[in-house]
Structure 1
Amino acid sequence: MILRPMVESDAAAVIEANRANRAYHAPWVQPPVDRASFDRWFASVAAGRTVSMLGSMPDGGVIGVLNFSEIVRGNFLSCYLGYYGMAAFAGRGLMSLCLRAGLIHMREAVGLHRVEANIQPGNLRSRALVERLGFRREGYSPAYLYIDGAWRDHERWAILLEAVSAVVPAR
């Protein structure tokens, strides 16, 4: 597994993977599936407002995407985490590895203290993923995000980055 910063030249591979996984992603997330939507999304990365990371296999297969957005410095040192994986790699622990490495990067390289992830209650795989990594449920937000044509409730999960270990527990 390789985790690295997303670059603009990743557009074709990410768009292709997202198109192939539309049914898998709905209604949880709506990632870019064409060049125009990729460019709109990537503008936030290029402007430094979002840290986006691409998880891939050595052969180039896209495992998933991590987005650390709304980064706040000062006394807060926090951000939001959005992520999505591809169906072909589900259930193999690869997104756990990607997220663990991404969280460590945000602590060590970016200097953050806390990361928050908002997850729809029915997204059981995503909830299990953050629980395995040590996130704690902090609350519930009704009609929190507009996704796939509807306002969706979300659970708020967060982790203090000091608690993230580079040691990967046995499965």
Structure 2
Amino acid sequence: MPHPASRYLAEGPRVGIRHFSYADGAEFTARARESKKLHHPWLFPPDSASGYTAYAGRLIEDPTKAGFLVCAKDDDGGIAGFVNINNIVEGAFQCGALGYGAFAHAAGRGLMREGLDLVVGHAFGPMRLHRLEINVQPANTASIALARACGFRLEGFSPGMLFIDGAWRDHERWAVTAEMRGAPRVAR
């Protein structure tokens, strides 16, 4: 639980996580434009004001989604990356699907590792989820390394799973449960 004066939902030594806001549009889209080479061909975060407003709106208003900005504390809270939990299903499933990306200025500094750990802890804590999945293209070695470093295990392979960058792409499915992270089991 964050300190009442904290602007973060959770924080570690170098980053804090907070929810998206509409006010983050200018910084987020500038970072997305700077990071096109890093992101291609894996993901395509919005790089225009209208694109960001629609994207953030889904994360802010749709109860089956939760979006988190990973903010670098040594950069006055500047956005280092993002982690989204999509397709949140409650009831007996208590699961969500993660998507994430670092921005170029923060890549390779370990900030996303810390940020993803914080989001997973928040998901298994206050959000009371039980399982998180990451679907990643097999050639995206950086994303796979991040999933592995945060305790996710490889569970399967899905051929032609998602339509990305003009083609149906194969994906590996990585997952972690609350028990794997040592979180107490919480029934809803």
**TM-score (normalizing by structure 2):** 0.84
C-alpha separation in 1, matches of 2:97 and 2:118: 16
Q: Measure how far apart 1:43 and its partner are.
A: 2.5
Counterpart residue number, 1:105? 122
Higher RCO by CA contacts (8 Å cutoff, separation 6 or greater): 1
Counterpart residue number, 2:8? none
C-alpha separation in 1, matches of 2:140 and 2:23: 30
C-alpha separation in 2, matches of 1:49 and 1:73: 9
**TM-score (normalizing by structure 1):** 0.92
Asked whether 1:55 is paired with 2:70, we answer: yes
Does the 8 Å contact 2:89/2:95 carry over to 1?
yes
- In the alignment of these two chains, the number of paired residues is 166
C-alpha separation in 1, matches of 2:170 and 2:142: 16
* Alignment of structure 1 residues 131-150 onto 2, 5 Å: 131-150=148-167
Identity of aligned residues (%): 39
Counterpart residue number, 2:40? 26
Q: Find 2:138's aligned residue among 91, 106, 121.
A: 121
Counterpart residue number, 1:169? none
SS in 2 for 1:163: coil
Counterpart residue number, 2:84? 67
| 4+ residue runs over 4 A deviation | none
SS in 2 for 1:143: strand
Q: Deviations over 1:36-74 (max 9, x none)?
A: 221222222223221100011232432110000110000
Q: Gapped runs of 5+ residues in structure 2?
A: 1-14, 184-188
C-alpha separation in 2, matches of 1:76 and 1:47: 18
Q: Measure how far apart 1:164 and its partner are.
A: 2.4
C-alpha separation in 1, matches of 2:80 and 2:55: 19
Q: Gapped runs of 5+ residues in structure 1?
A: 167-171
Does the 8 Å contact 1:3/1:56 carry over to 2?
yes
Comparing 54-63 and 147-156, the one that deviates more: 54-63
Q: Measure how far apart 1:75 and its partner are.
A: 0.4
RMSD value, Cα: 1.4
Q: Measure how far apart 1:165 and its partner are.
A: 5.9
SS in 2 for 1:164: coil
Counterpart residue number, 2:4? none
Comparing 7-16 and 72-81, the one that deviates more: 7-16
C-alpha separation in 1, matches of 2:63 and 2:56: 10
SS in 2 for 1:24: helix
C-alpha separation in 1, matches of 2:168 and 2:50: 24
Does the 8 Å contact 1:30/1:147 carry over to 2?
no
Q: Deviations over 1:4-28 (max 9, x none)?
A: 1111111111111001101110100
